[in-house]
Amino acid sequence: MGVGTSVAFHVAPEPMNCRLVVRNKQGPAEVLEFIAEGLEAGQQVFALGGPAYLKDIAHNLGESGLRVETLLRNGRLVFLTAPDCVSTLLRPQDAFRRGPLQRNASILRWVSDWSWAYANGADVRTVLTYQRRIHDVVRSLTTLSLCTVDCEKLQRSSLLAMLADHRRASKPNGQAARAAGSR
């Protein structure tokens, strides 16, 4: 019989870390798994993307047994159709003041698909600015986010620029500014 010792470790909150999934087909398992895990845990999930991408996500979630219409109706799953939603999200005032954000919900998850911007021939600089600003909005809401893009819609130079800028955009503002200044 000895005296037991227990040590408590304090784990600091994890900084926002947005994963980037570069894919060559619609609705990869990793994205669907990220969304489904959040819904099954009772989290609110936001998905930003073009109409075809959101339709594909809804179809695949339905195929996996989730009741997508019910989730959309009760606000647990929120689809934000790009490009129409981007200007609303980027307004200086709170974009969710009377919107779909459930402030009393546990943590939320966010998925952004950027294929719509590249498919529409948007200027790469404009898309990267959107990414940075959307990341600022997302960072204020959650630490669980995932960005995705269909690589068939990108030229190699655009893909490399997106990878580099996504890394910078997903860092908190101070870290992003230091990273940009060190170039």
58-79 tens-digit pLDDT? 999 999 999 999 999 998 999 9
pLDDT at 3 over 50: no
Model confidence, pTM: 0.74
76-117 tens-digit pLDDT? 999 998 888 877 777 656 555 545 665 555 668 889 888 888
Describe the strand order of the beta sheet including 17-23 as a list of residue ranges.
17-23, 144-150, 108-113, 44-49, 77-81
Closest CA to 100 of 52, 59, 45: 45
Q: Which residues of 152-177 are buried (b: 16+ CB within 10 A; e: fewer)?
A: ebbeeebeebbeebbebbbbeeeebe
Report residue 124 as tokens: 């790469």
CATH class entry, domain 17-178: alpha beta
pLDDT for residue 39: 92
pLDDT for residue 130: 82
Closest CA to 146 of 8, 5, 23: 23
User: Is 68 within 8 Å of 93 (Cβ atoms)?
Assistant: no
132-178 tens-digit pLDDT? 888 887 877 766 888 888 877 677 777 787 787 777 766 665 444 44
Residue 47 phi, psi (nearest 5): -130, 120
